[in-house]
């Protein structure tokens, strides 16, 4: 693919190998975006910076803005905070809205669930033992 700034081969990295411009700007005409517009408004159809695309942090390909999964590499890009419900990039473990560490939160929930399951099993076992004592006339 050709860089829209220097008109040379862009390369495979996140920046043009010739002029150093970032992938979104350098490949602005990729998928039919018009890079000749004069308007600087982001949502304008004449905007030259491909307003509806972003770059996948995992594979550096241009992808639709707001995609939950990268259509090229399949990486999950957006996650929902288990504490506040805010949606943020999966490359970060801490929610930028409430500061909850997603990994620690999920691990703590898993430990609490395991503890609950253990308590239920112990109660069932105790009940079974009491029932057998009653059955054999030991109570």
Band of residue 47 on the pLDDT scale cut at 50, 70, 90: very low
The proportion of the chain whose per-residue pLDDT surpasses 70, expressed as a percent, equals 76
Bigger pLDDT: 84 or 45?
Answer: 84
Domain boundary among 65, 96, 119: 65
Alpha-carbon gap, residue 27 to 59, rounded angstroms: 15
Q: Does 57 fall in a domain? A: yes
The residue range of the domain holding 135 is 77-139
Domain boundary among 41, 65, 89: 65
Kindly tell me if the per-residue pLDDT of 5 is higher than 60: yes
- Average pLDDT in the 38-42 region? 41
Element (H, E) at 42: none
> Does residue 93 share a domain with residue 49?
no
> Does residue 55 share a domain with residue 1?
yes
Among 46, 22, 25, residue whose Cα is nearest residue 34 = 46
Kindly tell me if the per-residue pLDDT of 34 is higher than 90: no
Measured CA to CA in angstroms, residue 7 lies from 18, 19, 23, 83 at distances of 9, 10, 13, 47
What does pTM read for this prediction? 0.46
Alpha-carbon gap, residue 63 to 72, rounded angstroms: 8
- Average pLDDT in the 87-107 region? 91
Query: Kind of pairing, strands 62-64 and 87-89?
Result: unpaired
Domain count, the chain: 2
């Amino acid at each position: 693919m050709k860089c829209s700034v220097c008109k040379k081969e862009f390369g495979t990295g996140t920046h043009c190998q010739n002029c150093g411009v970032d992938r979104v700007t350098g490949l602005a005409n990729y998928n039919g975006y018009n890079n000749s517009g004069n308007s600087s408004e982001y949502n304008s159809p004449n905007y030259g910076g491909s307003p509806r695309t972003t770059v996948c942090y995992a594979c550096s390909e241009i992808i639709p803005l707001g995609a939950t999964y990268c259509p090229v590499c399949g990486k999950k890009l957006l996650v929902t905070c288990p504490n506040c419900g805010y949606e943020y990039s999966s490359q970060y473990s801490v929610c930028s809205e409430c500061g909850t560490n997603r990994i620690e939160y999920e691990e703590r929930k898993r430990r609490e669930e395991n503890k609950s399951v253990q308590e239920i099993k112990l109660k069932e076992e105790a009940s079974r033992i009491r029932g057998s004592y009653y059955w054999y006339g030991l109570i």
